[in-house]
C-alpha cells in the first residue's frame, strides 16, 4: 500500500541479485490465456494502482534507472483533476518511455458491493457498464493506447462483474488475493501480492518463494 522510494529501490535490487526477472504483465497474461510462451523461471510482475503523483515523482525515475517494465492501473476520473493524482501529460511521458503500460482501474474506483446494495438491479448493471467502458474509452482517447486489462477496485469481483468485464472488452482482470499467478487461475480474477514498506530482505524473499510456480 505504501512503499518508500528507498525501499522500492532495495526491492528491485533484491530481485536482480537473487535471480528474479521483472517481466511485462502482458507476457504473463498471454501465457495464462494460452496464446504466448511461458515466462522465464522466477518471473515477477510489478503493478501500481490508482495513479498518485508519487508514481511519476518517485517510482518512474527508478523504473527508468533500472529499465524495468511496470503496469499502472488508472481510474481516469481523477487524472489532471485531483491534487493527489497524475496528469495526462505525466501519463503520456511514462507511456512513451516504452516501460510503462497503462490499464484500467474502472472510471472512478467505486465499491461495487456498496453500489449493488444502493442501486436497483437495472441501474446497477448500467453503472457497472459505465465504470468499465468509460475508463477504457477515456484512456484510449487521451493516450491512444490499447486498454484491455482491469484491476478490480478494492479487489471486489463476482461472476456477474466478470461477465460485464468480458462484455466490455477486457481480456484479464486482477484481484488482491495473495497468491502467485499461474495457468490454472481464472484469467479474469488473477491474484496479486500487496507489497508494503515492510517487505524487504528476507521478508521479501519469503513472499517470493511462497508456493511459487
172-174 and 149-151 strand pairing: parallel
91: left (phi > 0), else alpha (psi -120 to 50), else beta? alpha
- Mapped onto helix, strand or coil, the DSSP state of residue 108 is coil
User: What confidence score (pLDDT) does residue 211 get?
Assistant: 56
Task: For residue 107, give the C-alpha cell.
Answer: 472510471
Tell me what the pLDDT averaged over the chain comes to.
96
If we measure between CA atoms, which residue out of 102, 110, 188 comes closest to residue 140? 102
User: What confidence score (pLDDT) does residue 210 get?
Assistant: 73
For residues 148 and 197, what is the distance between their CA atoms, to the nearest angstrom?
30
Q: What is the pLDDT of residues 152-170, one digit of tens each?
A: 999 999 999 999 999 999 9
Name the phi and psi angles at 70, rounded to 5: -140, 160
User: What confidence score (pLDDT) does residue 213 get?
Assistant: 46
Range 128-144 average pLDDT: 98
Name the phi and psi angles at 13, rounded to 5: -60, -40
Helix axes 159-167, 121-143, angle to 10 degrees: 40
pLDDT band at 209 (very low <50, low <70, confident <90, very high): confident
Helix axes 88-96, 121-143, angle to 10 degrees: 60
Q: What is the pLDDT of residues 45-80, one digit of tens each?
A: 999 999 999 999 999 999 999 999 999 999 999 999
Decide if pLDDT at 97 tops 60: yes
Q: Name the burial class of residue 194, with classes exposed (0-12), middle (13-18) and buried (19+) by CB atoms within 10 angstroms of its CB.
A: exposed
Share of the chain above pLDDT 90, in %: 96
Decide if pLDDT at 1 tops 90: no
This prediction has a pTM of 0.95
Amino acid at each position: 500500500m505504501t512503499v518508500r522510494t528507498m525501499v522500492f529501490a532495495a526491492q528491485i535490487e533484491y530481485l536482480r541479485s537473487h535471480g528474479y526477472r521483472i517481466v511485462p504483465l502482458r507476457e504473463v497474461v498471454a501465457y495464462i490465456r494460452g496464446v504466448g510462451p511461458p515466462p522465464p523461471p522466477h518471473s515477477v510482475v510489478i503493478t501500481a494502482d490508482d495513479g498518485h503523483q508519487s508514481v511519476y515523482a518517485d517510482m518512474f525515475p527508478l523504473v527508468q534507472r533500472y529499465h524495468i517494465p511496470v503496469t499502472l492501473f488508472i481510474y481516469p476520473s481523477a487524472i489532471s483533476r485531483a491534487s493527489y493524482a497524475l496528469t495526462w501529460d505525466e501519463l503520456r511521458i511514462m507511456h512513451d518511455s516504452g516501460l510503462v503500460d497503462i490499464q484500467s482501474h474502472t472510471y472512478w474506483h467505486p465499491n461495487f458491493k456498496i453500489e449493488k446494495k444502493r442501486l436497483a438491479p437495472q441501474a446497477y448493471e448500467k453503472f457497472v457498464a459505465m465504470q468499465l467502458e468509460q475508463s477504457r474509452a477515456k484512456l484510449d482517447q487521451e493516450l491512444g493506447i490499447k486498454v484491455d486489462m482491469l484491476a478490480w477496485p478494492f479487489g471486489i469481483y463476482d461472476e456477474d462483474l466478470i461477465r460485464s468485464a468480458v462484455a466490455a472488452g477486457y481480456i484479464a482482470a486482477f484481484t488482491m488475493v495473495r497468491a502467485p499467478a499461474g495457468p490454472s487461475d481464472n484469467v479474469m480474477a488473477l491474484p496479486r501480492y500487496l507489497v508494503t514498506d515492510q517487505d524487504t530482505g528476507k521478508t521479501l524473499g519469503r513472499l517470493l518463494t511462497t508456493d511459487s510456480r
